[in-house]
Amino acid sequence: MLWRQVISTNGNKIRVLVADDQPHILEAVELLLAPHGIAVHCVRSPELVMEALSERDYDVLLMDLNYTRDTTSGKEGLDLLARIQEFDKRLPVIVMTAWGNIDLAVESIKRGARDFVQKPWENERLLSLIRVHAELHQALRRARQLELENRLLRAEGMPDFVASAPSMQLVLELIAQVGPSDANVLITGEHGTGKEIVAKLLHSASLRARMPLVAVNAGGLPEGTFESEIFGHVKGAFTDARTDRIGRFELANNGTLFLDEIANVPLRQQAKLLRVLETGELERVGSSQTRRVDVRVLAATNADLRQEAVAGNFREDLLFRLNTVEIHLPALRERREDIPLLAAHFLERSRTRYRKQITDFSPAAMQAMMQYAWPGNVRELEHTVERAVLLARGEQIEPANLAIASSRPQAGSADTMSIEEMEAQLIRKVLRRCDGNISQAAEALGLSRAALYRRIEKYGI
């Protein structure tokens, strides 16, 4: 596995999120911290705190316990503290209030705060607290990332993940940061960009790694069998239900469930998915017994779910549940620096598998690969290299062995294409015209979604 670690602390610069509904407090904190090289981001409500935490990393959160809803009890701040702990228990939180007392201080510490200050604060003490907690947080983060890298490099049976292009650095950083958590992750990107591999890496990096990772093509399930596949059924629930069946959620209990092609789940089924994500409870088809499951959900799609939500094709509340964090995988044409590494990796694997004495690619073959658009992304590159290894007769792979458009001008003409090649090209064109929407493409092609998925897999699209 090729793995590049990315440290996200901007060197050693401390980043502090400050939350208070009073502008003069925010200004005072910024005036205190900024001259010491500390980056300060200010927000004025609990909702903006959670939004800021979901968008970037901070080393310390300094937050008031009282906001506009209730200016004396600290309840609003304590509720926010509980939400923060659920989102990220490792983030150091220092709470402050003008109405502080020992009971409120003790309660905030019980709920996960690292320290407590009362307004007006002592500048030196507040600065010292922030530095100590931030530096400790940075050190622990670096240690966790190093441990994660070592664990991934040592893991047996893990998928190979080749990524060195600048456009992949955020992906690597997010995998390292989010992997150890229980956060739901939405993985987006075109077909063939490696979404399932990212799901496997996230699962491997988590505390659930010893439990199962259950993958299901959610969009490829017929609507009539969706509930049975996902939630299970009991004997007699319908005509062919001859025995009880455990659904994918129960199979993934205490582990991870990977829902691929989530955008193509029908709206009626989306509501049932949402309920399980919100409550952790489900009933098998034909049963009234409620069962609890503890599952981390990773979802993947090549569609723009925000646009789908605006169009009424995808529930916005389900989208919010799925994308606590979103990891977007760039297309291969946007990370061309990785093509030589990926091609060499696939070459090594294929020549070992087929016992071929092939050393490398000719310069012309490598140039052809670098110039090609790769509409099928990494998956297409993998299949192209495998086919080239089988076809090559010498010690090098030549452009003719690759059979890609940039090295074979006549490859796109009907006279030189097989029926299967023509069908694959047609599917690619329709998918591009439909912006990757499987339902629309299947309708345009006169196929069922399941049939289209089978062809997509067959042709490596």
| CATH 3.40.50.2300 in the chain, residue ranges | 15-143
**Class of the CATH-defined domain 334-407:** mainly alpha
The pLDDT tens digits for 61-91 are 999 888 865 556 678 888 899 889 888 888 9
**For 75, what's the count of Cα atoms within 13 Å in the CB-facing half-sphere?**
4
The pLDDT tens digits for 328-338 are 999 999 999 99
Quick one: how many helices (H) and strands (E) in the chain? 19, 16
Question: Which residue type, as a one-letter code, is found at position 131?
Answer: R
What is the per-residue pLDDT for 55? 78
* % of the chain surpassing 90 pLDDT: 48
Q: Which two tokens stand for residue 458?
A: 């067959």
pLDDT surpasses 90 at 146? no
d(CA 23, CA 159) in angstroms, rounded, equals 50
The pLDDT tens digits for 200-227 are 999 988 889 989 999 999 878 887 788 8
pLDDT surpasses 60 at 406? no
Computed over every residue of the chain, the mean pLDDT equals 84
What is the per-residue pLDDT for 116? 85
Residue 3 pLDDT grade (very low, low, confident, very high; cuts 50, 70, 90): very low
Sign, CA torsion 384/385/391/392: positive
d(CA 388, CA 11) in angstroms, rounded, equals 44
d(CA 185, CA 325) in angstroms, rounded, equals 5
In angstroms, the Cα distances linking 247 to 244, 272, 360, 453 are: 10, 13, 46, 21
Sign, CA torsion 89/95/99/100: positive
Whether 392 contacts 359, CB under 8 Å: no
User: How large is the average pLDDT for residues 328-355?
Assistant: 92
CA 200 to chain centre: 10
| CATH 1.10.10.60 in the chain, residue ranges | 413-461
User: How large is the average pLDDT for residues 238-255?
Assistant: 86
Residues 6+ apart with CB under 8 A from 116: 94, 95, 96, 100, 105, 108, 109
Give the architecture-level CATH label for domain 413-461. Answer: Orthogonal Bundle (1.10)
Quick one: which of 75, 19, 85, 78 has its CA closest to 47? 19
pLDDT surpasses 50 at 429? yes
Peptide bond into 375 cis (omega under 30): no
d(CA 404, CA 409) in angstroms, rounded, equals 9
Judging by DSSP bridges, how do beta strands 281-282 and 291-292 pair with one another? Answer: antiparallel
pLDDT surpasses 90 at 430? no
Q: Specify the CATH number for 15-143; select among 3.40.50.2300, 3.30.56.10, 3.30.70.270, 3.40.1390.10.
A: 3.40.50.2300
pLDDT surpasses 60 at 452? yes
d(CA 258, CA 217) in angstroms, rounded, equals 8
What is the per-residue pLDDT for 105? 74
User: How large is the average pLDDT for residues 321-326?
Assistant: 93
What is the per-residue pLDDT for 405? 65
Quick one: which of 362, 402, 354 has its CA closest to 382? 402
What is the SS3 assignment for 282?
strand
Give the architecture-level CATH label for domain 166-330. Answer: 3-Layer(aba) Sandwich (3.40)
Q: The pTM is what?
A: 0.59
Residue 437 pLDDT grade (very low, low, confident, very high; cuts 50, 70, 90): confident
* % of the chain surpassing 70 pLDDT: 88
| CATH 1.10.8.60 in the chain, residue ranges | 334-407
Helix 419-433 vs helix 438-445: angle between axes, to the nearest 10 degrees? 130
pLDDT surpasses 70 at 96? yes
What is the per-residue pLDDT for 382? 94
Whether 445 contacts 438, CB under 8 Å: no
| CATH 3.40.50.300 in the chain, residue ranges | 166-330
